[in-house]
Amino acid sequence: MHDGCNGRFENGSLIVNKLRQMGFSSMLMPTPLKLTCEACEATFTMHTMESSCSNCGMVYGVTPCHATDPASIQPAGVGY
């Protein structure tokens, strides 16, 4: 079921799964965000709804509805 912008996800893998299912993984972020990777502490820029750390491969995801809220970006796992 699609909850629109009311849906919340417990973890990053659920977000990334939903992005892939809906075809939103490569959708551009409204504004690219610089993140510090939780796995290796490298800094990288998130340009799309699903992005990965260029240093270690940790995958991050955020839904289009929450893409302007950095707190909504969650890690899914290295190489997810």
The pLDDT, as a whole number, for residue 1 is 36
- Over residues 4-21, mean pLDDT: 86
Distance, in Å, from the CA atom of 14 to the CA atom of 79, rounded to the nearest integer, reads 15
In terms of Cα–Cα distance, which of 58, 54, 50 is closest to 17? 50
The model's pLDDT over 14-49, given as tens digits with 9 standing for 90+, comes to 999 999 999 999 999 999 999 999 999 999 999 999
Whether the pLDDT of residue 7 is over 90: the answer is no
- Over residues 53-72, mean pLDDT: 95
- Return the H-helix or E-strand segment holding 14: helix 12-22
Distance, in Å, from the CA atom of 50 to the CA atom of 30, rounded to the nearest integer, reads 13
Distance, in Å, from the CA atom of 30 to the CA atom of 63, rounded to the nearest integer, reads 11
The pLDDT, as a whole number, for residue 80 is 97
